[in-house]
Structure 1
C-alpha cells in the first residue's frame, strides 16, 4: 500500500490524514470486498471491525417488531462505518448492511482505537463525521414525516449518487421501498415520475442519473441541508491538510533558498580569494636567461647583467636559469 492516502483511497476521512498519521495506520488497513446485502453488524452485535468505504454504500437500518424496517442513515466514501467505537460504544444499536456493493478498507477495532487516541487529525475527522452523521439521521427522520415519496426518493438518489463513482446506482425498487419505509407501488410510481421528467432511467437492479440538476430541483430541502453540513465540517479538514502541505512546501522552499544563498556566498568568497591571489602575479611576456651561479641576466644582445631583482620587481619578465661566459671560464677554466 502506498504511503500517501491521497494516491490510494477515495475515502474522504483517509484522504484527509497527514502522511505521518496515515503511515502509522496503513500497515493495518485491509482492502476488502463489500458485496451488496452483506451484514456488517447485526442488531446488538459486537463491533470488532470498522470500515472506510471506497465506492460501497452502507445503510444503517432500524428494525421493527412487525418485521418492517427503515433506513435511518447511509455511509459511503465520505465517512466510516462503526464510528461509535470512537465513543467507546462497541455494540451496534442498529443493523448495518451493504446497500450498494463495492470495496472498502477494513481495520480492527483495537487498531482503530489506538490510532484514534494518538492521531490528532484522525480524532478530529472522525468526530466531525459522527456529528455530520447525527445531523443526517435527524434530518432524515424529519423528512420522512414532512415530505412526499417523490421528494424523498429524489433526495435519497442524490445522496447515493454522491457516494458512488459514475452515474449508475445498483439498487432494486424493492430495496428502495424497504429503505424508505414505503410500499413497493409507491416507489414504482415515484420512479416513473422521475423517469418521465427525464431525470433518471432504470432497468432491473440499476438506476442511472440523467439530469442531476433536475433531480436536485425535484428533491426536498433536506438533501441540500445535509450536504451543506458535510461540506462545511468535513471540507474544513481537507482545507487544513492543504494548508499544512503548503506550509511544508514553503519550509522546503525556504531551506532550498537558504542553501542556494550559502552556495552563492561560498562561490563569491572563493572568487574574491582568487582575485586577491592573482593581484601580485605579473604578466608573462618573455623568458630571460639567468646565470645559475652568479644570477646575472642575459639580455637580447647576449650581454649579462646582474639585474634579476630589478627585472622581477619592475617588469613582467619571467626568468629561468643558465650560465654566463665568466662563470663558465671560472668554473670550467675554458680559457
Structure 2
C-alpha cells in the first residue's frame, strides 16, 4: 500500500490535498462521531471546530423571513462544515444539524486558522466550499417561493443520494418535513406521488431511487445548479463526480410526471 492510500480519509477535500500538506492537516484532526438529529452549530454562536464529514451528512438550515426553517443544502464527504472561518467569519450564520449520523474529522478553530497559513491548497478548497454554501443559501429563498414541494422534495432526495453515495437511504416523513419546512401530511402526499410515478420506493422511511432520470424530471433546476457547483469543485480537486445510471423513462411514467408539473401550483 502506497503512502497516499494510507493517508486517505474518505473526505474529498482532505484527500485532494498534496501528501505533505495532508500529513500536516491530519496531524491536527480528531475523529468524532456525530448523531442523527444533533445540532453542531447554531446561528450567531462561535465556531469551535471545523468538520470534514466521512460517512455522515449534515444539513445546513436557515429561516427566511415569513417562512419556516428549512435546509438549503446537505454536506457529506464532498465538503466541510464551519469552513466560513477561511473567509473571516468565526460565528455560525446558519444552523448545522446532522441528518445522517456517522463519523467526521474535526479541527479545533485555532489549529485550523494556523493551518490555513501553511496549507495553501486547503485554504483554496475550503474557501471554494464556503462560497458554494453561500450561493446555495442565496438561491434557497427563491427556490422555496417559486417551486412546488414535489420539485423541492425530488431535488432534495437526489442531493441526499449523492451525499450518501447510494440509491438506498433512510429519511422518515417527519425528517423530510422538518428539512423542507413543510407539514408531514404535505410531504407524505408528495412522496406518494413520486412512488406512483415510479421514481422511488418508500418502505416506512427506507427510500430507494428506482429511476433517477424520472426523479430529475420532477426536480427543480436548483438541483442542477448545486450539481454544477460540485462538479466545478470536483474538477478543481482533480476528481470527477459520477452519478448513478438511471433506466430509460417509460411512457406512462413520463406522461404522469409532465401532467403533474403542468397542473400543480407552487406550495405556500
- The TM-score by the shorter chain falls in which range? 0.7 to 0.9
- CA–CA separation in structure 1 for the residues paired with 2:236 and 2:5: 17
Aligned to 2:171: 171
How many angstroms does 1:228 deviate by? 0.9
Aligned to 2:254: none
Q: Which structure has more RCO (C-alpha within 8 Å, separation ≥ 6)?
A: 2
8 A Cα contact 2:25 2:115, kept in partner: yes
- CA–CA separation in structure 1 for the residues paired with 2:232 and 2:66: 39
3-state DSSP of counterpart to 1:107: strand
- CA–CA separation in structure 2 for the residues paired with 1:44 and 1:5: 39
Cα 1:125–1:13 shift into 2, 3 Å:
same
How many angstroms does 1:7 deviate by? 5.3
- CA–CA separation in structure 2 for the residues paired with 1:205 and 1:9: 29
Query: 1:199-228 deviations in whole A, cap 9, x for unaligned?
Result: 111222322222222211221111111211
* 1:70 aligned onto 2:106: no
C-alpha RMSD over aligned residues: 2.2
Aligned to 2:52: 52
Runs (5+) with no aligned partner, structure 2: 240-268
3-state DSSP of counterpart to 2:163: coil
Cα 1:3–1:136 shift into 2, 3 Å:
farther
Aligned to 1:15: 15
Structure whose alpha-carbon radius of gyration is higher: 1
Aligned to 2:85: 85
How many angstroms does 1:67 deviate by? 10
Aligned to 2:248: none
TM-score (norm 1): 0.66
Cα 1:98–1:3 shift into 2, 3 Å:
farther
* 1:218 aligned onto 2:218: yes
- CA–CA separation in structure 1 for the residues paired with 2:192 and 2:152: 14
The number of residue pairs the alignment matches comes to 238
8 A Cα contact 2:155 2:216, kept in partner: yes
TM-score (norm 2): 0.82
Cα 1:153–1:110 shift into 2, 3 Å:
same
Aligned to 1:103: 103
8 A Cα contact 2:50 2:109, kept in partner: yes
- CA–CA separation in structure 2 for the residues paired with 1:64 and 1:141: 7
Query: 1:60-97 deviations in whole A, cap 9, x for unaligned?
Result: 22257999422233211111000111122221122211
8 A Cα contact 2:74 2:163, kept in partner: no
- CA–CA separation in structure 2 for the residues paired with 1:69 and 1:141: 11
* 1:148 aligned onto 2:131: no
Runs (5+) with no aligned partner, structure 1: 240-335
Aligned to 1:266: none
- CA–CA separation in structure 1 for the residues paired with 2:223 and 2:67: 28
Indicate the larger mover: 118-127 or 203-212.
203-212
8 A Cα contact 1:34 1:104, kept in partner: yes
